[in-house]
Structure 1
């Protein structure tokens, strides 16, 4: 059979979802489109979500609109954040005789290069999308051209209406009409269950469980433990030196979110978001994850806190003019409980007395280590040390 996986939060599933599935099924002569609501979205944050059981029930109601639509609870049963690459691996293993397609929304298609193991996704399925108002077929084709040439893509010609689950939730909370946006059975279910009547608010502390799920699936066990420990150290230092403990903890959790992805995937992120590497960065892949991580947090998780973004971006090199949060995350990365390098006890002792003293020691340690290896030192690292050294002399 020819089967398309169509995953998402479906919070709630709406008429544009159904229309997209039908357009692609018609064009590619698909036998089935498998609607799969995710338990926790791996590529974006949700301020609040309807319970998984309700989102699954709404998908099952919407699937009655077309006999080719089926619903799977695989990712909900799995729990946590599920990545498309893992789900496709499982589906292909269970149904090796089927030809697989992947249907994604136009907005998510434009972030495909940031997805976990996206190159594996391209090898396993033809990726399909449908234009919508504001994201035309030409823009989608242009983006597809930037992805690896071995990828297979289908971009529909006919756009679907500009309907979003976010707009539907806001309309319901405001008491506005949503009749044209939802299948009637789904609208009736939402009304009966009283879903989406509260206003959505976001704060970093409440999002921490999602951050943890995102890094749990993106990082190795060793890296995940390190991120948790850096978060603890960052929170401790923030409390000690008058910073924001919640923001410091989140920055610590996310600082290595792109550390374990391949260089080619990191390069794709740079290409997607117009990030130009300087001469030192081009030759130092160990620096890439910090810039890729900041880009992922800003453009995929849609966190626009510039101080947090800079704390992630500069946690490896440092820079002149670092904020308190940037210094906290930089030092926390050196002193976390999982660290065991020769000078770690000295670093921890300095961090108890002065962030600046700890920074100076860490920067000198970094520079000495790079020089011993014959590697170039990033100008930002030298500028950070110079500023702290001159400041110490004047102080």
Structure 2
């Protein structure tokens, strides 16, 4: 395993670091000021559009997609240090580069599983940053940590019985159900939902009961009911997280992604890259926290000496550095395995980083908040919002306990 940056990665890193220093960090305060003056808090501040234009001009666009037809053609190992850098400003930088969830995962789904007509209608505008999207899977009335529990119904009405993909399906699908924490759904630019529900709820194989369909936002019966808060934050730059209700929502059968019964498999394919992308950005969040801790420690005095000379503060900073170096190596190993043996071959490592990274970064951010005192929980520093985002990732894409259960069963298998 060689984790040294190749020439292309080094060039992109330098370009991205310059973009962050010259444009992204200065834009953080400007974006908040502009948002306060908008007619709707969900509208996009002009500074975000300016950042997107500058990122495109610099060639920092769609870096997450390994498919050269659609994206930058980077491997996971090449993308990892770039995603880490964007994690230092997670509310602005990923959006500026068109590398923000849930659009990234949705574009990956469309690139891998959709028909040519679906790609033309939805993937192309997403790649261009002209529209946004949402992924509707999680439900409030069931334990969504087990995706086989979802209750949303996707019922076929008319047409043939072919289970193959393509645009020749006749008839339509009718969708009924309730979802929540549907990321991106509050953004006015969100034009398309990828909805997961059951087309065969009584099927013998619980992992073949689900399918995914494309539902345009303006489809009658689709109700974006309310914004869901995350520790009090509405996450405006992310497009919010909404409760969405589907009342007899009817879409053409050609809106099915892939085949009937393929929804669970598509979800698993989507979540693998999503999990490592989150972990890459989390390391950047931790680096931002360490930087803020060090700046605070050398600028504040308590009990007659700088905080930087207080033993407990030194311990916090040292432990944070060790933890980040460990996490980075594990994430890079996982990226290397995904590139060399595929996502299935890296399954253990993907679960390991999903367990370890959010938990560790939450602890680092918590120490950084503590070091900043009252300022740490205020809007004057990014730490409280970073903490909320990192803590949420112990639930998103599967809670810790689900990954621990699966990882333990795999370890024990050889001994049973």
When normalised by structure 2's length, the TM-score is 0.25
Structure with greater strand share of residues: 2
When normalised by structure 1's length, the TM-score is 0.26
Bigger Rg, which one: 1
